[in-house]
Chain A
Amino acid sequence: MAVISIEERRSRELDPRSSPYAPWMHIDVLLILAAAGLAAIGVGAIYSTTRGRDPENFDTFFLERQSLFAVAGALFMVFAAWVPYQELAKFAVAIYGVGILALIVVLGPLGEEVNGARSWFRFGDFQLQPSEFHKLAVIVAVAAFLSRYEDHMSAPRVFFAVGIVAWPGLLVLLQPDVGTALIYVFIGFVLLLIGGIRFRQVIGIALIATTVVVLMVNSNMLEEYQTNRLRTFVDPTTGITEAGFQQRQAQIAIGNGGVHGTGYGEGSQTLSGLVPQQHTDFIFTVIGEEFGFVGAATTLGLYALLLLRILQAARLAKDRFGALICSGVFAMILFQMFEAVGMTLGITPITGIPLPLVSYGGSSAIATLIGLGLVLNVRMRRFT
C-alpha cells in the first residue's frame, strides 16, 4: 500500500467512504487478476480446441458461450462479495436444503444423463449441474456449524459435520460422479482440519473412509468405466482401455508441447482431436501442447497466486466463519486443480473434474467465481 500522509489519512477516516476500514478499500485485486487471467487462458484454450479446422469459418460457439459464462460468473462474484458474508450463516440451512433437494431431483426423470452420469438439469440451451453449486452450500453450512464452537470439537460434532458433507457426497456418488464426490470429501476434510479436529479423530475418519472406498471399489456400485480408470491408473499396461488411451494421448499432447509449445492453434494432438473431452476436463492438454512448459507453468503460477490469496484471506479473516469459508474454497480449488491437471500428466487417476475457471462449463465457472466472491467478501470485511 502506498505511503500517505497523516493529514490525508485523517481526512479519509472522517469520510466513511474513504475510511481505511471500509470494505471496498480491501478488495483483493491480485485475486481478481489471477482469476481473470485463468478465465482468459481458459477461453483461449477452449477456442483452440473447438473452433474446427476451417480457417475461413471457425466455429465460435464454445468461445461465445464460455465468454458468456465468465461474464455471468463475474456478476455472481460481485453479488457474492456484496452481501456481508456474516448474513450467510442465517441462510446456510436453507441454501443447504435447496441444494440437497436439487441433488435428489436430478437423479429422477427431470435430470439429464450425459456421459453416463445423471448430473444435469436442462434449461433450454443451458445445463445446470447442481453438484457444482452445492459444494458452496456445503462449505457455508459446515463453516456455519463449526464456527459456533470456539474450543476443540467433540466426537458428536465431528460426526455431525461429516454428515453435512456425506449426504450430498453420497447423492453425487449415485449420479454417479466419483470425481465430484471426492471434492466433497476433500472439502469436508479441510474444513474439519481448520475447524479444529483432533489428531485421533483424523485417524478414525481416515480408517472409516478407507474401508468405505475399498468396499465401494470391490462392490458393483462403481460403473465399469470407473473401475477401469482406477485400474488403468494403477497399472497403465492393462491393455488399451479407453481410459488408458485418453491418459496416453493427454501425455503425448503435453510432451509434444516441449518447452515453448507448438504455438496457438498449431498443436497436432489438439488439431487432430486425439484427446477426448479436451475442451472440458482435459483442457490443460491444450495449454500444455500449444504453450509448452512456459505456458503450463504460468497457468500453474496463476493458480498458486490465487490459492495464496485465498489462504491469506483465511488468515486475515475477522472470524472463524470467514476463515472456514475461505479454507473451503481453497480446498475446492486446490483439489480440482490438482486432479484436473494431475490426470493429464498421468499422476492422478482420470475423473470427470473440470479445471476451475479454465475448463468449458457454466456451472463450474460460475460456482468457482461465486466461491471467489465469498473469499473477497471475507477479506473485504475483516475490519467491519
Chain B
Amino acid sequence: MSPESLRLRLSFLALLALLAFGALVARLWFLQVLSSEEFEAQAQSNTVRVLYEPAPRGRIFDRNGNVLVDNRESLVVTVDRFTFDTEFDEDGQEALVLRLATEISRAGRLTKVFEINDALGDSRFGPLDSVPVADDVTENFEIILAERADEFPGVGTDLRSVRTYPYGDLGAHILGYVSLLSEEQYELVADDPKTYRRNDEIGQTGIEASFESVLRGVPGFTRLEVDNVGDPVRVIEQVDPVAGADVHLTLDIDIQAMAEKELLAGLGEARQQETDDPNDPPFKAPGGAMVVLDPNGSEVLAMASFPTYSPSEFVSGFSDDRWAELQDPNNHQPLHNRALAGIYPPGSTFKLFTAYAAMNSGVIGPRGVLDTRTLYEDTGVYVVPSCEEDVIASCTFKNAEEAIYGPVDLIRAITVSSDVYFYYLGDTMDRADRFDREGIQRAAVLFGFGAQSGIALPGEGVGRVPSPSAAEAAGEPWRTGDSIVLAIGQGVLGATPLQLANGYAAFANGGTLYAPKMVERVENPVTGEVVQAFADRVLNQVYLPNSIRTPILHGLLGVTSELEGTAYFAFAGFPHEEWEVAGKTGTAEVVGKADNSLFAAFGPNPNPEYVVVAIMEESGFGASVAAPAVRRVLEPLATDSVPAVRTIDDLADLSGPVEGSESEEDGVDASSGGAA
C-alpha cells in the first residue's frame, strides 16, 4: 500500500470525525440554543415543587360584632394518588379502600366505600396529588393511622380550615355558602392574583360570593427544589399566607332570628286557614320573605327567605341526590333568596306609590279631579265611563271581597284599602289628557321599582314596571284596564320584597332612596384596621313635600290604628301611643293559586327607624297572615325587647346543666314518692 493510499485512508478517518463532530454540535445547538426555553421549563417542572398553604378565609360579623361565619379545623384523610396507582393492583386498591372506609367509620365518622371511590376519581386532582377522601374525621383515626401505617400506604391526614356557622342556618341566604370550584369557575379565576387551585373553595352565593375577593386570603407557598425521589433539595422561595379580610354586615342577628321565626310562623298559620269556597285554591304557603331595613340609609337589619337551607351542609360536600333535591322546583328552591330574587305583584301595598303619583301629577289636588279631602263614593264597583270593552279590557272593576266603603277620601281610601278609589285614579291618569299618562310608572321608578337596588348580594331581581310606552315599544297593546289594575299593584307589575321595603324606606325617611346596604365595613382580621368602609349610597331624591307625604302617612297610620284600618286587628294591643306604626296590607292575586299575603310597615312615626315588609306566597289576606307576622317583629323592636339569639355552642352549654337539674328533680320526685 502506497503512502498516498495511507494518506487517503487517514483523510477518510478525518472525514468520519468531522461528520461525528458536525452531528454532535448541530444537536447541541438545537438543544441548548434553539429549544433551550422549552427544556428549561421542563427542568423547572421536573425539579420544582410548590407546596401551598391555604390562607384562612375572612370571617363575617353582624352589626354588633357577633361572628356569623367562622373557620374551624377539619381533619381530612388524604390518599396519595401516585402511591395508590403504582403500588396496588385493582384488588389491592379495592382492599385498601374497604380498609379505609371501615377504619374511618370505626373511628367515629361514617364513611362508605363508594364515597371514597368517588373522591379518588375526582378529575380535579392530578396523578401526583393527594386527594381528600373523607373529612371531619375523628382524631382516633389519626391514632389508628399512626399505629398501622404499613397497612395504609399513601394515606395521610391533613388539617383543613372549613367554614363554621355559630348561629346555624340563620341568615343562610345572606351569608351564602362556599364549595369547591367548578370547572367553569376555575377557568374564570385561573389568573386571579389570589392563586386559586383546582381543589380550592369559592363563595357560591350571598356575601361569600359577592365579597369573595375580600374574604379570600392569599395562599402562602413554598417553592422547593426536589431531587429524583421528591426529597427537598433547597427552598427557593417562601411566602406566608395572608388571611382574608373580615366583613362586617349591617345585619342584626337578633332581628334576623326574629324575622325568620315569624316568617316561618306566619306561613304555618297561613296553612291552617280554611278557604271560603272548597273550590278555591288551598293556602299552601310554600315560601315567603321578610325584610327589615333601617330607612335612614336603607341598612338591611334582617332579610329572611323561606324555605331555607343549611350552609354547613356544603362544608363536607353532599351527594348528587341531595343537590338535585335542593334544585327541585317541587321543593320550592330553598337556595333561592326570595327576599331579593323573588318577584311578586305588590298588590295594595303599592297604593302608597299610586297615591304619590296621583298627588304629584295633580290628579289629586286643587286642580285635579279630586282634592285630598274630597269624598269619592265607593260603591264597591268601579264602572269605567264611556266604556268600550275591547279598548279597556273590562268595564267593571270590583273591590276585593265585594266590599262597599261608601264615601272615601284619599286618607280613608288608604286606610280601608278602597280599590275603587284607586281604580278611578288609574283610569283618570290613563285617559285624562291633562295628566301624565305614565305618572304611576314614573313614581314607581322614583321609588326604586323596576331596577336592581344595588345591594351587595348576587342574584338580585329587576322586577317589572309595565307602561304604555314600553308596551308600544314591544308591539303589545296597552289598555286602560292595565293602568287601572296597576293602580292597585296588580297585573304585570312585579317587585322584589327588597324593592318594596326600600320604596317604603324612601317614603319613611322623607324621600331619599338609598341603595340597600348589607355591608358596613371590611376589616383587617389581625389589626382590626378598617380596610374599606361603605357610606350610604343615595340612588334618588324623591320630591316629597309634607303636603303630599302627610295625607298618605295619615292613611297608612290609620291602617294599624283605626278600627276600619285593614290591619287594626292584627295590631290590637300594640303600643300605638309610644310607637306609631304606618303600614299597608296587600293581598295580591295570583292566577290559579291562593292570594299572596303582603304587609309593609314602618315606625315609629314621625321618625321611623324600621321598615318591615313581609310577603307570603299563597297565604291569603295581607291583613290575616303577613300583618300579624310583621307586628310580631315590630313589637319587640318597639318595646326594645328583641330576644338575644344564642349560638349553637351556647345552646349546647345550656343543655348540660338542664339535664343535671332534671335528674335532680327526679331524685326529689323519687324521695317524695317514697315519703308518700
Residues of A at under 8 Å CB distance from B?
Answer: 53, 150-152, 190, 193-194, 196, 249, 251-259, 268-269, 271-274, 288, 292-293, 296-297, 300, 303-304, 307-308, 311, 314-315, 320, 323, 327, 330-331, 334, 337-338, 341-342, 345-347
A330, B13: Cβ atoms under 8 Å? yes
B17, A307: Cβ atoms under 8 Å? yes
B46, A346: Cβ atoms under 8 Å? no
Quick check: is B530 within 8 A (CB to CB) of the other chain? Answer: no
Of the A-B pairs whose beta carbons lie under 8 Å apart in the complex, a sample of 27, sorted by A's number, is: A196-B1, A251-B39, A255-B35, A255-B38, A256-B36, A256-B39, A257-B36, A258-B36, A259-B33, A269-B46, A272-B225, A297-B28, A300-B24, A300-B28, A315-B7, A320-B6, A323-B6, A330-B17, A334-B20, A337-B20, A338-B20, A338-B23, A341-B24, A342-B23, A342-B27, A345-B28, A347-B27
Question: How far does the Cβ of A189 sit from chain B's closest Cβ, in whole Å?
Answer: 10
B33, A254: Cβ atoms under 8 Å? no
Pick from B6, B21, B43: contact of A194, CB under 8 Å: B6
Q: What 3 A-B pairs have minimum CB-CB distances, sorted nearest first?
A: A255-B39, A256-B43, A258-B36
B14, A311: Cβ atoms under 8 Å? yes
Quick check: is B25 within 8 A (CB to CB) of the other chain? Answer: yes
A311, B13: Cβ atoms under 8 Å? yes
A150, B1: Cβ atoms under 8 Å? yes
With contact pairs A190-B13, A288-B28, A292-B32 given, residues A258 and B226 touching in the complex (Cβ less than 8 Å): no
Contacts of B234 in A (CB 8 A): 53, 271
**Chain B residue, CB-CB nearest to A245:** B228
Question: B-side binding surface: helix, strand, loop or mixed?
Answer: helix
Quick check: is B88 within 8 A (CB to CB) of the other chain? Answer: no
A330 vs B20: C-alpha distance when bound (angstroms): 13
**Chain B residue, CB-CB nearest to A255:** B39
If A251-B39, A254-B31 are given as contacts, then 4 extra A-B residue pairs at C-beta distance below 8 Å, sorted by A number, are A252-B46, A272-B47, A315-B7, A323-B6
Quick check: is B672 within 8 A (CB to CB) of the other chain? Answer: no
Question: How far does the Cβ of B38 sit from chain A's closest Cβ, in whole Å?
Answer: 7
A314, B10: Cβ atoms under 8 Å? yes
With contact pairs A255-B40, A256-B39 given, residues A193 and B12 touching in the complex (Cβ less than 8 Å): yes
Pick from A193, A272, A311, A331: contact of B226, CB under 8 Å: A272
For A152, A330, A345, the residue with the greatest tally of chain B CB atoms inside 10 Å of its CB is: A345
Question: How far does the Cβ of B120 sit from chain A's closest Cβ, in whole Å?
Answer: 22
B23, A347: Cβ atoms under 8 Å? yes
B39, A254: Cβ atoms under 8 Å? yes
Quick check: is B195 within 8 A (CB to CB) of the other chain? Answer: no
Instruction: Give residues of chain B (534-550) contacting chain A, Cβ–Cβ below 8 Å.
Output: none
Question: How far does the Cβ of B228 sit from chain A's closest Cβ, in whole Å?
Answer: 5
Contacts of B27 in A (CB 8 A): 342, 345-347
B32, A274: Cβ atoms under 8 Å? no
A303 vs B36: C-alpha distance when bound (angstroms): 24
Contacts of B38 in A (CB 8 A): 255
With contact pairs A194-B13, A258-B32 given, residues A273 and B39 touching in the complex (Cβ less than 8 Å): no
Quick check: is B29 within 8 A (CB to CB) of the other chain? Answer: yes
Quick check: is B279 within 8 A (CB to CB) of the other chain? Answer: no
Contacts of B40 in A (CB 8 A): 255-256, 258
Question: How far does the Cβ of A316 sit from chain B's closest Cβ, in whole Å?
Answer: 10
Contacts of B431 in A (CB 8 A): none
Quick check: is B227 within 8 A (CB to CB) of the other chain? Answer: yes
A274, B227: Cβ atoms under 8 Å? yes
A259 vs B29: C-alpha distance when bound (angstroms): 9
B10, A315: Cβ atoms under 8 Å? yes
Pick from A254, A272, A288, A311: contact of B10, CB under 8 Å: A311
Quick check: is B239 within 8 A (CB to CB) of the other chain? Answer: no
Contacts of A272 in B (CB 8 A): 46-47, 225-228, 233
Question: How far does the Cβ of B10 sit from chain A's closest Cβ, in whole Å?
Answer: 6
Contacts of B6 in A (CB 8 A): 194, 315, 320, 323
**Chain B residue, CB-CB nearest to A347:** B27
Contacts of B20 in A (CB 8 A): 334, 337-338
**Chain A residue, CB-CB nearest to B7:** A315
Contacts of B47 in A (CB 8 A): 268-269, 271-272, 274
Quick check: is B93 within 8 A (CB to CB) of the other chain? Answer: no
**Chain A residue, CB-CB nearest to B32:** A293
Contacts of B663 in A (CB 8 A): none
Contacts of A308 in B (CB 8 A): 14
Quick check: is B330 within 8 A (CB to CB) of the other chain? Answer: no
A293 vs B6: C-alpha distance when bound (angstroms): 36
Instruction: Give residues of chain B (438-460) contacting chain A, Cβ–Cβ below 8 Å.
Output: none
Question: How far does the Cβ of A291 sit from chain B's closest Cβ, in whole Å?
Answer: 10
Quick check: is B44 within 8 A (CB to CB) of the other chain? Answer: yes
Contacts of A307 in B (CB 8 A): 17
Pick from B7, B13, B23, B32: contact of A193, CB under 8 Å: B13
Quick check: is B527 within 8 A (CB to CB) of the other chain? Answer: no
Instruction: Give residues of chain B (16-58) contacting chain A, Cβ–Cβ below 8 Å.
Output: 16-17, 20-21, 23-25, 27-29, 31-33, 35-36, 38-40, 42-44, 46-48
Pick from B5, B17, B29, B48: contact of A293, CB under 8 Å: B29
